[in-house]
Chain A
Amino acid sequence: MKRIEAVNDFVIKFANVNGTGSASANNMFAKAVFRMGLPVSPKNIFPSNIQGLPTWYEVRVSEKGYLGRRGGVDMMVGMNPQSMAKDIKEIDSGGYFFYDSSKPLDLRMMRSDVHFIGVPLKDLCQREFSDPRQQQLFRNVIYVGALAALLDIEFDVLRGLVSDQFRGKEKLITPNVRALELGYHYASEHYSCPLGIRLERRDAVGEQILIDGNTAAGLGAIYGGATVAAWYPITPSTSVVDGFDKYCKRLRIDPGSGNKNYAIVQAEDELAAIGMVIGASWNGARAFTATSGPGISLMSEFLGLAYFAEIPTVLIDVQRAGPSTGMPTRTQQSDILACAYASHGDTKHVLLFPATPRECFEMTAQAFDLAESLQTPVIMLTDLDLGMNDTMSPPLVWDDTREYQRGKVFNEEQLEAMSERFGRYLDIDDDGIPYRTYPGTHPSKGAFFTRGTSRDEYAVYTEDGDAYEKNMQRLLKKWDTAKQRVPAPELIKAGKGSKIGVIHFGTSRCATLEAIDSLQAEGVAIDTLRLRGFPFNKTVDAFIEEHETVFLVEQNRDAQMRTLLVNECLISPRQFIPILNYNGTPITAKYIREEILLVVRGDNVRPLRKQRSVKESV
């Protein structure tokens, strides 16, 4: 029988029942790979449920450092009878199926082209542990031990992870190590170890870290100087504020008084959450909220107010599959239009698209500088994949000489020295950005009335059409200023004057770059442009102009980024060939590669391109 042979390059998927404690065992597995110096990319595919439904954890090991989903499964750890038949079908031919052999397998599920590896986890557990909860939990740890033998994971690495995990709860170390040993010994005695797929220590991760994007964003808010967080719980954004809370408790408590140099309020809904952010920002604090699609819908009215009244607002949208409640625990990039044009009337908002945890950290901090210097909402659009999965990332860095850009704010001295009347909405510097004052600054100067209704340059209510138009034009001028300040796109040129370009953003990055790499190896040169901010600047126009064929990789049904590009860059939609993935799991390199090849192989057949783009536009 064929056997998949691979060193440091395979996909292993764990099929579990949620609420059984499998997550921490699976994390231990992924981290062990990472500590052996190997790039690893674990993806949690979980239900919107607390206990009893199928959940998967897909781990990709790639010595070359490809972190996107590859597609396919080399080994399945099948711990869930509910999904087992489907799980076994999913394994690539020549792959491996690991299962609990305490009970015999249903023979109808057997495949002749898959290697079945049974370990009696339940029996081993019951023999060793008496407490029923432990019998459940340690079953997971035992399979990690068995995998260590089967895949050549260094046992000392696992031992180290256990002692790190239970630092302070030392009495838990011994039974955990014991459970690992049980699995390890059973597998070594009953199977010829290692299997065809295995690990070898390398030095391929360098100084990188393994962290989820939401934690990085929460920490970015601390470094960015946020003092007020208001939020309403919603998957998959909750861990942003959890991260902010966790590290604030460590880093933001005044040692002398024990008082908090921050405030977190769990609001009654998303409307209140964004309202609090706007109130705090209006009053001079750096404030933020985090939410997901349904929250964006609810916050839209307030976003319009913040845009029109020009109040800095920082919002982190961790996208999930919509519309409506959609698939709350599955990933998508489908809030782009809802965020770009959130609210009624003529509104548009600055967007940021991070692709790595480091960017989640940096862009969150940067969002405060942008929001305050532009006096407008800034929305960072991440997604469930980046937000909730541990992702390998360059370490987080902070330039200690960096100063917060608080924007144009008149202080007491400036107001005192002012002989003319303060005009909140006067365009003094000809960049569309006016000066503001914080409440309570000066006894007799600088007070103004903030409102969502139209007003003149001195913030006085008016329904005069000319004054209204002038103000709306100034907001457009400010929008032009924003183009120069948002993060520039990341351009990678194949260097051969390629006529094919691929535009991508956010979590499509890893899979896209891997697909491009493999095509490059076959002689297909492709340039890529990764969008990092909106409004788009001239680089984006130029990239589209320079390439005959432009693919657009997105994780939504309607090619929302295409709509945005078409609308903002005044480009024909036919310029783009969308590559769309929206089934709720992260896009794979294999899929992108195949979609590009479909077109490129028939590159001389022009109509194909047209045909495809027409089909996609319907």
Chain B
Amino acid sequence: MSYIRPVFRHPDLPRNALGFTRKDYEGAISTLCAGCGHDSISAAIVQACFELALPPHKVAKLSGIGCSSKTPTYFLGNSHGFNSVHGRMPSVATGANLANRELIYIGVSGDGDTASIGMGQFTHVVRRNLNMMYVVENNGCYGLTKGQDSATADIGSASKKGEPNHFEPIDLASVALQLGATFVARSFSGDRAQLVPLIKAAISHRGFAFIDVISPCVTFNNNPKSTKGYEHVREHLAATGTVDFVPFKEEISTEYEQGESKEVALHDGSVVHLHKADPELDITSRRSALRLIKDYKAKDQILTGLLYMDENSQDLHEILGTSKTPLRDLAAAELCPGQKVLDKLNESWR
């Protein structure tokens, strides 16, 4: 982390379509440990929101409790934020989204917050296909309470304390796939080139977009015996391919590499291009994604990149059939039926 951030910014900083600079998407200075993977993820979120030219106040950021859940303070300072209770961000995000379907919802959680105390709420927010991006900053340990193993720690992986983990890890990406998540990706906090377009695609996706980001804990879980340390992750990384996110109306200017590529159009006209590294992957098939995660794991590799997306999914509002106007904006006249109706109802109870 850095304690000082320069006040002066170059007057010719690039501006996005709304005229904002990257600075307009930054938050308070991080209080996490120097080198924490989470700070790289915050920076990627800032970059993605800047590039998407989102109006900052039209984003709501929510989190639970833990190191990861502190991070919404460190990005999008002009957005409302909600640091809720441990493991319960999904329900708060659900309520918030029900109240106003027009905002963009970014949820940030950790492996403790999601895979242990919040496992119940996580599984149900996936099932409901809530329109939000849900990022798990996954470091395999409880940082804020000084390094206990979390439920995503691999068998045999040892944190700074040195005791290897004996319990089967929960693979959140696989869980999300099995429960019907409509956008699933995995990434690494140290791979910004991959993470930024994934975040952009996840935000643009209508429905529940899940990104499991391996994010090393430099203080408690970055030792040689840990499978969530920088060294191990870098050495065992494999990617589904490179991802380009092309917003609607923006001319496609990316140079494609040779090889197989797949295009998926999102509901708003944006396009996701996946340049496949593994021809086995079919990102429109859950089975394919689940199999590949297992295959790579068997080879002791961590498969990252876009794993699955269903661009035609219906989000919670569409399933419920709620008003197109945000519920919170409905006027009293639309909500309160008045005394005349009550007179009739009273008659039915006589």
Contact = CB atoms under 8 A, between A and B. Distances in A.
Interface of A: 34-35, 207-211, 219, 222-223, 225, 227-228, 230, 247, 251-252, 254, 257-265, 267-269, 271-285, 287, 301-302, 305, 395-400, 403-404, 437-444, 447-453, 460-461
B78 interface: yes
Most A C-beta atoms less than 10 A away, residue of B28, B56, B93, B335: B335
Nearest to B72: A449
Interface residues of B, number: 60
Given A272-B90, A305-B85, A222 B349 contact: no
A251 B337 contact: yes
Contacts of B100: 283-285, 438-440
B164 interface: no
Given A283-B96, A439-B80, A228 B103 contact: no
A443 B25 CA distance: 12
17 contacts: A228-B95, A261-B322, A263-B322, A265-B316, A268-B121, A276-B98, A279-B93, A283-B100, A283-B328, A284-B99, A396-B342, A438-B80, A439-B60, A440-B103, A450-B83, A452-B85, A461-B73
Most A C-beta atoms less than 10 A away, residue of B97, B98, B322, B330: B98
Q: Which 7 pairs between the two chains have the least Cβ-Cβ distance?
A: A279-B95, A275-B91, A285-B99, A439-B80, A276-B95, A280-B95, A279-B92
B94 interface: yes
B240 to A, nearest CB: 31
Nearest to A247: B345
Given A261-B327, A279-B99, 10 more contacts: A209-B346, A265-B320, A271-B91, A281-B99, A396-B345, A398-B339, A399-B339, A443-B55, A447-B56, A451-B82
A47 B115 CA distance: 38
B330 A275 contact: no
Contacts, number: 225
B254 interface: no
B341 interface: yes
A478 B97 CA distance: 29
Contacts of A227: 98-99, 327-328, 330, 335
Contact of A278 (B92, B322, B336, B341): B92
Contact of B80 (A228, A261, A399, A448): A448
A225 B73 contact: no
Contacts of A397: 339, 342
Interface string B120-139: 11011000100000000000
Contacts of A252: 335
Contact of B102 (A251, A395, A399, A440): A440
A108 B85 CA distance: 62
A400 B338 CA distance: 6
A275 B80 contact: no
B338 to A, nearest CB: 5
Most B C-beta atoms less than 10 A away, residue of A208, A277, A280: A280
Nearest to A279: B95
Given A269-B120, A440-B58, A461-B73, A285 B91 contact: no
A257 B321 CA distance: 10
